[in-house]
Structure 1
Amino acid sequence: MPLTALLFAHHEMPENRTPAGLLPLAGWTVVERQARLAARAGAEHLVICADRASPELNSALARLRGEGINPEIARNVAEAGDLIQPDCMVVVFAEGLVCDDRLLTRLVEESGAPVLMVREDDGDEGFERIDATARWAGLALLPGTMVREVSRRFGDWDLQSTLLRTAVQSGAARMPWDDVPLYVPNRRREVPLVLEMPRNRAESAACGDALLAQAQKGCLDWPARFIHPPIENMMVRLLLPTPITPNMVTLITAVVGFASIAAFATGWLWTGLLLMLFLGPLDGVDGKLARTRLQYSRWGDLEHVADKIVEYGAFIALGGYLSSTAGHYGPWVLAGITIAFALAEAVQGEFFNRYTGRQLDDAGVWQRRVRLVAGRRNTFFWLLVPFAVFGAWESGFIAIAVYSAVTFFIAQGFFFSTMRSYALEHLPPVAENFRKSRYAFLPKQERPVN
């Protein structure tokens, strides 16, 4: 059944005469985030109830349409009903709601309607009370026929509240808002849920900060964990209100990376090293900007390919220059060793991710601890800094090559042990093979075989 989203941007807040749906959020507006959430959840049709045009609304619509999201505007309740098809399911957003994408995903996965997402009555007047113990969490999944009937029967009544009351009276199922797993695989950590109803600009700014905090990835190397986040967050905050897209930031990052390669190749070693160190926080900006804005692109995954090209290109350039000045092929060999082990470790990790649905670095406590100090682009080039201070560039390159090899073999140990655990848990035939092929002198396998 097709999915339609019903959004609101017409109730002015008493403090600033701005509709709650048009409060600024992470550089743009609340209703834009709702529209992007709906589009990502599969909504093919979006309807925004807004009784008058405003510069803020027109700007929001222009940005959405520039991304291929084309909402229709309903100037009154009757128009909203006419724009809703009877054979669709309608996801209703409370006006001004700032919510987590996982909540909407959980809601639209429900096969039946009506469904209301609810929260305990904690006294937050921003969320409408349903009964003595619960409040509406701002999301509902309703049949299109219900929305059309309500819009035609009640004239100019508040459509949002009337839909809520009608759904409650019809015996709508209730879904707790906090019944959602906190762990997010692609961020490699538990991410707190966001569900807020800002009533002024200060509260919407706090919501924007919460969304930016959500965008932070976990399970990182030590520079990305301890040095980069404040720099990344500062740059993201500067970019949020601008038209600069994550893809543009990715392109800038690639340009800086190739400038570093050129500097290494031509003997400007300190310039190349400083650019490579700056590349660390810059490389995290595009992803954070995309996750905070919900502005994703199908080309986003190419960033990881560009990262590897830049990293390996820097090793080749550095090896080539050091080889030419040293008069032997040793640095070329070091470049080859570094790249070979780093690439093998990356391919191994990608296979594990595709096979198990989880990244090897995040598969257990020890894997996460090792990830903090494992050899990656950031740690490789920070390792080079003390050698560079004393002019021992080739010695630093030797250390990087050893670092790359050690990281690979440690990762390979984790790979085999974790793959074995995964197979024993999820693949009964493999578990049985392990039992049958066990060496007699080894202790018996205690794990039960299903």
Structure 2
Amino acid sequence: MPFSAIICASQAASDSPDMFRATLHFADQALIEYQVRQVTEAGASEVMVVVGAVTQPLSRAVDRLTADGIRVTLVRDMVTLLREAPREGDFLLVADGAVVPQRFYRTLAASKDVSLLVVEDGATTAGFERIGPGQRWAGIARISADVLFGTLDMIGDWDLESTLVRAAVQNNATTVPVPVEEANEGRLAIIRSQAEATLVTQALLGTGTDNASVPGDAGAERYVVGPLAARLAPMLLRSQVPAVQVGVAAIAIAAIGTMTILLHWPMMGLLTLFLALVVGGTAIRLTLLARRASADRWIWIVPQAVSVLGIALAARQVGQGALGLYLAGLVAIATLALRMGRLPNVRPWAIATPGSAILLLVASAIAGYLDFGYQLAVGVAIVSLGDALIGRRRQKS
């Protein structure tokens, strides 16, 4: 069933009374941007943000969302909400400052009933609103159009989210429990200050999709680049370095590596290209955390593409130009197939990726046999790609 989203964003931050919680810096963006991206990813057809006032930081956040193709309507009063809210379909209500793991958005998006996400009452969940004995509202709810429009007329100056949640409870809403460990480990929270926003961001970066491996990672990118990038990302996050700047740095480092190869320093150039992959992997993790992977897709592609070019150029320095082209083509095919999801259920360690090829070539260069390293790398890449294709054919049969 289609649904719209209502996100509450009118409470002031506890450490900055002149600033809304919604505009606190969170995961390389304003908190409201993160929430909007979550409900959009869950399938919301329309997003309405209920605000107390339209400030410049809030307007800039909406402009950034609009630039990414996400339409957001700012609502300042109940009259506007009554006018803007569609009369058909349900609504996903999001609490002011709520950060909830994405899988629970998907759960409520798939629900057909009035539903409340709840968490067990305890020391780490005291900041959530109590809705009954031993239970607190965990920040998101699915409410029907009847509940919404039947409640708006009597809200007046009352708190919107609390009133709607109480109405859902009175309508015998289905409760969807969240393990209290999500709150204990910082993945479920009501953010009230910048310090809390930073702590929750770091908790999200250290778990789930934002840890050492990301979708499409295999070979050295998964087992070497990933862990290194996972260590580097929190340091950049604490410094509030945008993922886009990290991605640009990765491209610049890859370009330096390529120039180093052209200056007849192939091993130094290959090591620089590997560093570019680590920095690029860090940018990817920051992008995934911000739920901007589709908007910043170039961060995934460009550093690896430049690294593949560097692999081909380095081969010319040792008289293996043809093998360099073969190797670059093979790892490019494998990388594209992984990114496009064409190699499902393959063994990640068995895929020849740019990072894997570079590590093998560096090891050969250290031993003084870079020319032989290209021969070996091409053989490994052929076997790797053949194994992946055979495995894919077996899966189909």
TM-score tier after normalising by the smaller chain length: 0.7 to 0.9
- The CA distance in 2 between the partners of 1:332 and 1:23, in whole Å, is 52
Query: Aligned pair count?
Result: 384
- Alignment check: 8 A CA contact 1:250 1:286 kept: yes
Q: Which residue of 1 aligns with 2:211?
A: 216
Q: Following TM superposition, by how much is the alpha carbon of 1:239 offset from its aligned partner in structure 2, in angstroms?
A: 5.1
- The CA distance in 2 between the partners of 1:13 and 1:288, in whole Å, is 27
- Alignment check: 8 A CA contact 1:127 1:138 kept: yes
Q: Which residue of 2 aligns with 1:87?
A: 88
- The CA distance in 1 between the partners of 2:347 and 2:178, in whole Å, is 30
2:60 matches 1:71: no
1:45-101 CA distance string (max 9 Å, x none): 222222223344334333333333343222233433333222132110011101222
Give the RMSD, CA atoms, in angstroms: 3.4
Distance 1:31 1:137, change over 3 A: same
Distance 1:361 1:385, change over 3 A: same
- The CA distance in 1 between the partners of 2:360 and 2:339, in whole Å, is 25
Distance 1:360 1:237, change over 3 A: farther
Q: Following TM superposition, by how much is the alpha carbon of 1:103 offset from its aligned partner in structure 2, in angstroms?
A: 1.7
Amino acid at match of 2:321: W
Q: Following TM superposition, by how much is the alpha carbon of 1:205 offset from its aligned partner in structure 2, in angstroms?
A: 1.1
1:44-443 matched pairs, under 5 angstroms: 44-110=45-111, 112-123=112-123, 124-178=125-179, 194-214=187-207, 215-218=210-213, 221=220, 222-238=223-239, 240=241, 242=242, 246=244, 250=247, 253-297=250-294, 300=297, 306=302, 309-323=305-319, 331-336=320-325, 338-339=327-328, 342=331, 353-354=341-342, 358-362=344-348, 370=349, 375-385=352-362, 388=365, 392=368, 395-406=369-380, 408-409=382-383, 412-413=386-387, 416=390, 420=394, 422=395, 430=397
Q: Which residue of 2 aligns with 1:9?
A: 9
Distance 1:83 1:145, change over 3 A: farther
Amino acid at match of 1:313: L
- Alignment check: 8 A CA contact 2:270 2:311 kept: no
Distance 1:389 1:91, change over 3 A: same
Report which stretch shifted further, 13-22 or 308-317.
13-22
Q: TM-score, normalised by structure 2?
A: 0.82
Distance 1:25 1:249, change over 3 A: closer
Distance 1:133 1:152, change over 3 A: same
Amino acid at match of 1:318: A
- The CA distance in 1 between the partners of 2:289 and 2:63, in whole Å, is 19
Distance 1:42 1:261, change over 3 A: same
Distance 1:36 1:304, change over 3 A: closer
Q: Following TM superposition, by how much is the alpha carbon of 1:227 offset from its aligned partner in structure 2, in angstroms?
A: 3.3
1:15-47 CA distance string (max 9 Å, x none): 542443333322433222111212222323222
Q: Following TM superposition, by how much is the alpha carbon of 1:250 offset from its aligned partner in structure 2, in angstroms?
A: 4.5
- Alignment check: 8 A CA contact 2:277 2:303 kept: no
Q: Following TM superposition, by how much is the alpha carbon of 1:381 offset from its aligned partner in structure 2, in angstroms?
A: 2.6
Distance 1:296 1:156, change over 3 A: same
Distance 1:226 1:19, change over 3 A: closer
Distance 1:385 1:122, change over 3 A: same
Amino acid at match of 1:287: I
Distance 1:344 1:74, change over 3 A: closer
- Alignment check: 8 A CA contact 2:323 2:378 kept: no
Unaligned runs of 5+ in 2: none
Larger radius of gyration: 1
**SS in structure 2 of the partner of residue 175 of structure 1:** strand
- The CA distance in 1 between the partners of 2:174 and 2:39, in whole Å, is 21
- Alignment check: 8 A CA contact 2:212 2:227 kept: no
- The CA distance in 1 between the partners of 2:107 and 2:365, in whole Å, is 52
Distance 1:284 1:59, change over 3 A: same
- Alignment check: 8 A CA contact 2:118 2:135 kept: yes
Amino acid at match of 1:5: A
**SS in structure 2 of the partner of residue 130 of structure 1:** strand
Q: Following TM superposition, by how much is the alpha carbon of 1:140 offset from its aligned partner in structure 2, in angstroms?
A: 0.9
- The CA distance in 2 between the partners of 1:342 and 1:68, in whole Å, is 33
1:255-289 CA distance string (max 9 Å, x none): 54344334323424355234212212122133122
